[in-house]
């Protein structure tokens, strides 16, 4: 019994080991049962159900015609669906813009905060604050700041002579995407910085000392020490951020509702399922989103593995 937690049982207990092993296995699975049941019921079963529904013409209000198997019909429609194509393109643009800005800004902030200075603790706390508030609330704050008449962004821009005239940031299609990106970048950059900071702090200090003794400049130290050793943290951060950005819903929904020119994939799926009740077609959109996200994950994984060698 006493070896329950220790990885290597004492040699003299080897005789009892099989019994112990069996006991551990039984108790282990028993303890896992509630968690596995919950995950199975709330995640795995619905995922299977979504895939199944995507091959049917299911409607939420099943009054008119019975649900039947339609094969690949939904996917064929989806392939020619220009609304979805626009939504996918918009989502990918949003992802590329926000993730690259967040990464570069986050890295700069992480490097700054990583140095020893008075007030580093409060600084880190301040950086957590935008992360902690609801995305919807952040969107509301920015919507008000971007107001065309009473907004502070226009006012500041005019006062500093950056803007020649006030903009209707959100309703103008030319600036709509940019204003959504601004909210997302504001809300998540500090978080990206914190993740990178955690990675920076495990890099041993003596590496830098040795490098500067050898006469390496700070820039060389950055490219030769910091960046290579930070790679795992960078990989994780980029993957998490990309996945998050590809399923973006909240900010777009608050800013634009279902405005057709600014739909993301998630908004299109949600309005198809909940708004229109086309469960079957909505499921096909969901599966497509899932596949697109998987493609991004695979790209990241292979890219990171290749560069590691």
Binding mask 184-223 for other proteins (x = CB under 8 A): --x---x---xx--xx-----x--xx--xx-x--x--xx-
> Segment contacting other proteins (CB under 8 A): 79-87, 95-103, 171-179, 278-286?
278-286
Q: Which of 87, 90, 181, 279 binds other proteins (CB under 8 A)?
A: 279
> Segment contacting other proteins (CB under 8 A): 70-78, 79-87, 167-175, 282-290?
282-290
Dig out the tokens for 60 from the structure.
Answer: 């939420």
Question: Least distance (Å) from other proteins to the CB of residue 142?
Answer: 7
Q: Is 258 in the site for other proteins (CB under 8 A)?
A: no
Q: Is 164 in the site for other proteins (CB under 8 A)?
A: no
Considering only residues 14 to 33 of the shown chain, the ones binding other proteins according to CB under 8 A are 21, 24-25, 27-32
Dist. CA 25–CA 18, nearest whole Å: 10
Q: Which of 10, 96, 128, 298 binds other proteins (CB under 8 A)?
A: 128
Q: Which of 43, 83, 295, 299 binds other proteins (CB under 8 A)?
A: 43
Dig out the tokens for 153 from the structure.
Answer: 């962004």
Q: Three-state DSSP class for 249? A: coil
Q: 92 CB contacts (<8 Å, ≥6 apart)?
A: 246
Dig out the tokens for 291 from the structure.
Answer: 């596949």
**CA atoms within a 13 Å half-sphere pointing along the CA-CB vector of 146:** 21
How far is residue 197 from each of residues 200, 205, 224, 226, 230, measured CA to CA in Å? Answer: 5, 14, 18, 11, 9
Q: Which of 109, 170, 181, 238 binds other proteins (CB under 8 A)?
A: 109
Contact 255, 302 (CB under 8 A): no
Burial degree of 179 (CB within 10 A; 0-12, 13-18, 19+): buried
Question: Least distance (Å) from other proteins to the CB of residue 199?
Answer: 6
> Segment contacting other proteins (CB under 8 A): 73-81, 142-150, 171-179, 298-306?
142-150
Q: Which of 111, 177, 229, 304 binds other proteins (CB under 8 A)?
A: 111
Dist. CA 237–CA 192, nearest whole Å: 7
Considering only residues 64 to 103 of the shown chain, the ones binding other proteins according to CB under 8 A are none
Closest residue by Cα to residue 54 from 307, 240, 280, 215: 280
Q: Is the dihedral of CA 281, 284, 288, 294 positive or negative?
A: positive
Q: Is 117 in the site for other proteins (CB under 8 A)?
A: yes
Q: Which of 70, 181, 238, 283 binds other proteins (CB under 8 A)?
A: 283
Q: Which of 175, 236, 300, 304 binds other proteins (CB under 8 A)?
A: 236
Q: Is 155 in the site for other proteins (CB under 8 A)?
A: yes
Residues constituting the chain: 309
Q: Is 142 in the site for other proteins (CB under 8 A)?
A: yes
Q: Is 165 in the site for other proteins (CB under 8 A)?
A: no
Dig out the tokens for 74 from the structure.
Answer: 């939904």
Dist. CA 263–CA 83, nearest whole Å: 8
């Amino acid at each position: 019994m006493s070896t329950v937690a220790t990885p290597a049982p004492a040699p003299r207990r080897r005789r009892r080991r099989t019994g112990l092993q069996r006991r551990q296995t039984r108790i282990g699975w028993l303890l896992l049962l509630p968690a596995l049941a919950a995950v199975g019921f709330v995640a795995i079963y619905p995922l299977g159900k979504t895939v199944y529904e995507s091959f049917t013409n299911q409607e939420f209000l099943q009054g008119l015609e019975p649900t039947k198997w339609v094969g690949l019909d939904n996917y064929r429609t989806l392939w020619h669906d220009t609304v979805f194509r626009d939504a996918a393109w918009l989502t990918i643009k949003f992802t590329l813009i926000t993730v690259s800005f967040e990464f570069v800004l986050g890295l700069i902030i992480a490097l700054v905060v990583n140095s020893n200075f008075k007030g580093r603790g409060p600084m880190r706390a301040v950086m957590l604050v935008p992360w902690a508030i609801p995305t919807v609330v952040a969107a509301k704050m920015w919507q008000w700041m971007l107001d065309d008449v009473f907004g502070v962004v226009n006012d500041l821009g005019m006062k500093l002579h950056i803007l020649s005239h006030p903009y209707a940031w959100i309703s103008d299609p030319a600036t709509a995407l940019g204003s959504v990106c601004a909210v997302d970048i504001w809300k998540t950059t500090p978080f990206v910085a914190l993740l990178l900071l955690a990675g920076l702090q495990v890099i041993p200090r003596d590496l830098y000392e040795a490098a500067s003794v050898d006469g390496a400049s700070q820039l060389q130290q950055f490219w030769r020490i910091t960046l290579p050793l930070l790679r795992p943290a960078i990989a994780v951060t980029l993957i998490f951020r990309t996945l998050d950005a590809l399923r973006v819903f909240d900010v777009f929904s608050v800013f634009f509702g279902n405005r057709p020119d600014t739909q993301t994939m998630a908004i299109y799926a949600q309005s198809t399922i909940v708004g229109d009740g086309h469960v079957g077609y909505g499921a096909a959109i969901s599966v497509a989103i899932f596949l697109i996200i998987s493609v991004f994950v695979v790209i990241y994984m292979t890219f990171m593995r290749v560069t590691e060698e």
